[in-house]
Structures are given as C-alpha cells and as structure tokens.
Structure 1
C-alpha cells in the first residue's frame, strides 16, 4: 500500500434493477422498495436487464450516471483496527450528488465481504454533505474485501457501486464456497430452513425462509421489522461479481415464513445471507446454493 497518499479506490460500476416481488418487467422502481438491485461487475457500465430508466422518463437518471470513490482516513489500513471509511458519490461529470432517497430507512446500505465470502457485514454510513458518506468500521483480518455501496439518488434508480480494497495484516485462511447439502441451519436459538422454488438461472425464483424455535420447533410468528421490512436478503456470486439485494414480497409479514422473489442472473454458485430481527436482536443466516 502506498503510504504517501490516502488510499483512494473508485468504483465506476453501475447496476441494473430486478424486482423482488411480482413481475420484474413491470415492477422495478427507483424507490428501492420491493426490488432487487443486480450488478454484472464484468462490465464498467452494466445496463439493466429489467425495468431500468434511462433518463427519458421524467428525467430519471440510470445507475450508469453515478460513480463512487472509497477512501480511508488512515494511510495504512490494518486488520482489526478501527478506521474511518468515506464514500463520495458523484455524477459522471465529477459533481457531488447531494440528494438521496430513503431506501428501507437508510440513505445508504454498505455491504462488506471478504474474498471467500466467509465474512459479511451490513452497515449504514451517515451522510456528511458534499456527496460524502462516512462510517467508522473494522476489518477482522488482512486481505482483500469488497465494498458495495447501495443507494437511491433522488431522480435516479436504485444503484450499487463497488470496489475491492486491500487491508494490511495477516489474512485468514480462505474457506471453500461449497453449496449446502442441507438447507437447515441454527443460529441464536433459531432454526432456519431455506427453500428455493427453482435453481435455474434467469428464472423467477421464490426464496422462502421458515424460522422456528430451535428447541421447541414451533414457528416464530412475531418477527420484528428490520429496516422497515420482515427481513432483507443479499446474494453474491462466488466471485462477488454478481450482487442482488432482495426485499420481501410482504414487508409487513411477521413469520414464521418470509418470502423473497428474485432471479439468479447466471449459472454458478451463490451465497445468500438472510437477515431478520427477533426480540430486539438482528440475526444473519448464510446459505450457499448451486444454480444451473
């Protein structure tokens, strides 16, 4: 890492929008509700496969109209040390973007994963003006991490911009990303089962999470709202190039079932994180699936 200047990494990847409820060709919106933001990071300016606006509908700008610069306050960013992260959002002319819409109670959702997707963090930077969001965070080990800034500019569509960053320090041994043979897991006293209506790429797929008490096996029907919904789902391809942030079919559901509609863009292995809240505590459930 160059210690003569602040680490500055610019994400110029723009992402399309897939709906998470109903027909994705009919229901993609810029407000982020009931939608799934998808990226193909193999392209520097990926276009939407469903429902993206291109600036001709009331002047709404597409995701390709924005870019993000990720920077750290410290010259050297080390694992397990707190550091301030700044994310500046600008338009293609380099002008800072200062107007954003609330997207599930937050102006920005920041997803952080490491190279093998074993580490996952979902946090919310605060807007500090001049197009910039800031947050204090830590990275558990040295190594490579990918940052996904998920936001909705005013008069724009749901947008996710990303970049890999290198953190100094001893990296954790990488784990294999292998599909689960049993889609039932227990975390924080909750037993969670995941069912997929289809495992084929480009097909509408219902993700159904069934949440029960791990001891009594009774379904939990008093899930609490987490960021304005019964739950949130983030999906990444094995190489972290395909990103989807999926919102529930019924945001006001309380369990024991929570349903999410999406479409996997390509065949391959994907990791799914479901996030829910019960009795004041947010819990995250990861699953790995193979898509044909």
Structure 2
C-alpha cells in the first residue's frame, strides 16, 4: 500500500432512519481458497463509484447506491432471512451479458469484501464469502434483529480496463422490528477491555487526518497484528442513506516505518455534511475487534477551504478473517 491513503466511497439506497452502531468482532475462519493477505492494491479511480481515490477528494455521487454499474450487477439470490436464525446468504456478480463473473482481482488478500449493515447501524458485519466455480458467492449470516439491511459487495473484476466497484442491495430480516438510538459523539470507546481514542476530524469535501489509538488496562497496545494486510481498517457509514467510505491506513506491516500501534492513522474525506458512524477493525491476541464512534461533520467545505468536525462509540458485529 502507498503511504498515502486509499479511500473507497460508496453509498446505499436506503431511506429510513439510522441509529446506533457496532461493537464486538470475533475472529472466524478464513473463506475457503483465500490465501494470506497481499499488499494493498491501488484503489484510485474517478467519480462516481467504488474506491473513489485519495482522501483529497470526495466524489460528487457516492457509490453503492446502485445495484448495477459499469456493466456489472449485484444479483442477491437471498433477498430475505429470518432474524435470530443462521441463514446462507447467496449472491453473484453478473456482467453486461448476464453471465456470472468467475474471475476477480485479489485486493487486501480477498477477491471480494462483503459489508452488511442494518439501517439503524446496530449491526455491522465485515464478511469474506466463498465463491463457487460457477461464480455464486455464499456466507453464513445470523442477524440478531428484524429490519432492513444493506449488502455492499466491494470487488474488482479481472477484466481489461475494469476498476474497483461497490454495488449495493437491500436485504430484509423478518421479525419484530425496533430501531435503536444512535450513540452520542465521543472521542473514546471501549470494546472487550480495550479503549480506543479518536483524534482528528472527518470533514465534508476536504481531506482530514484521523488517528485511532488502542490501549488496554491503561497501557498503549504496541503489538497490533496485521489484519487483511494492515494494522487497521476503517469504515464510515452516513446516517440516513448508508453512504459508505472504506478508508485504508497510512503504511503497512513490514514496510520499515509503520509501527504496530498504538496509533493507526488515516486520511479521509466525507462526501457531505451529516452524521457518520466510524467502525475500526483491529486485531490483537489473535482476535479481530471493532470499535465504533459517532461523528458529526460541519457544512460541506468548498475546495481550498476548511471545515472541522467531532467524534465517538460501539455495537454488534462479526468478522471473517
């Protein structure tokens, strides 16, 4: 990965309310066929979709709002599951001729990353499904509550001229539904005895520096372990429509300069003013955990000007390594 930042900006076509967020991540076995994480591939690409380039610019139209883009379509074969029951989530990526895509470029050690989030942001999943030979992807899911969820597929087809895409589709979870309240902004949060502190501001229309520092029992954690080729991965979801940013940290393990904690630094640009939920995945003592913060940004900042913001907190999550 370059020492610069790599940002993915996508979005989801969701209209309802948003609420709280996310928390504990337990390590799960790798998806079949996946190998050790590779060095981060470049994700620079022009607006309007996928990994939207460096933190210096926000895309005019966040990606992920679309189920189809650039000739590719997310075919969600499991549009509904039952809350509280384990189900198999199945989907495929189809090309412009309707054929299921079977060849993808490996990025961050995986051919495809799947993000699953509830509208109220109580539930968050970062999954790595298994692909069958015919291009059908599958992964077990157990959603704790009823409601509408958004499925984001982050991938790059292995085709000439193809760029990274993030396509989104809605998933319904049946049962009694009650939205939770979004936690208030704060600069610290705790998860499984770890304290994570957020420094910096997420600003609309302008790149900002964010540093998240991990400590345990009052002592800085200086032996974070690589997870998908990095010491941390940061996802931001915008309240209201689930606009999505996937931000990669500065540096990478083994580059001779990046330390394994306590701080993990990112450069990020919010696509607009609003309220966001930040989710940091980090790995220590063999387990992936997620710390979450609520962040309010100010007014959208025109190019060349500055406008700051604030941050905090955490909730229900699952990880696949």
Give the TM-score band, short-chain normalised: 0.7 to 0.9
Q: What TM-score do you get using the length of structure 2 for normalisation? A: 0.70
2:8 counterpart of 1:37: yes
Q: Give the corresponding residue for 1:78.
A: 82
Distance 1:40 1:137, change over 3 A: closer
> Out of 277, 287, 292, which is 2:283 matched to?
277
2:102 counterpart of 1:108: no
2:204 counterpart of 1:208: no
2:272 counterpart of 1:266: yes
Matched position secondary structure for 2:77: strand
2:180 counterpart of 1:175: yes
2:148 counterpart of 1:144: yes
Matched position secondary structure for 1:129: coil
Q: Give the corresponding residue for 1:227.
A: 228
Q: Distance in 1 between matches of 2:106 and 2:117?
A: 23
Q: Deviations over 1:89-137 (max 9, x none)?
A: 0122312211111121111211111111011111110111222211121
Q: Give the corresponding residue for 1:287.
A: 293
Matched position secondary structure for 1:245: strand
> Which runs of 5 or more structure 2 residues have no equivalent in the other structure?
15-46, 55-67, 254-258, 299-321
Q: Distance in 2 between matches of 1:40 and 1:175?
A: 21
CA-atom RMSD in angstroms: 2.5
Q: Distance in 2 between matches of 1:50 and 1:142?
A: 32
Q: What TM-score do you get using the length of structure 1 for normalisation? A: 0.77
1:110–1:125 CA contact under 8 A, matched in 2: yes
Q: Give the corresponding residue for 2:240.
A: 239
Q: Give the corresponding residue for 1:248.
A: 249
Q: Which moved more, 1:238-247 or 1:255-264?
A: 238-247
2:86–2:141 CA contact under 8 A, matched in 1: yes
Instruction: Spell out structure 1 runs of 4+ moving beyond 3 A.
Output: 40-43, 48-52
Matched position secondary structure for 2:70: helix
How many residues of Structure 1 are paired with residues of Structure 2 in the alignment?
A: 245
1:85–1:136 CA contact under 8 A, matched in 2: yes
Q: 1 or 2 for the larger relative contact order (CA 8 Å, sep ≥6)?
A: 2
1:21–1:249 CA contact under 8 A, matched in 2: yes
> Which runs of 5 or more structure 1 residues have no equivalent in the other structure?
1-18, 23-33, 53-61
Give the drift of 1:238: 0.3
Q: Distance in 2 between matches of 1:36 and 1:51?
A: 6
Matched position secondary structure for 2:249: coil
Q: Give the corresponding residue for 2:121.
A: 117
Give the drift of 1:189: 1.6
Quick check: which one's strand share is greater? 1
Give the drift of 1:185: 1.2
1:113–1:145 CA contact under 8 A, matched in 2: yes
Give the drift of 1:68: 0.5
Distance 1:42 1:113, change over 3 A: closer
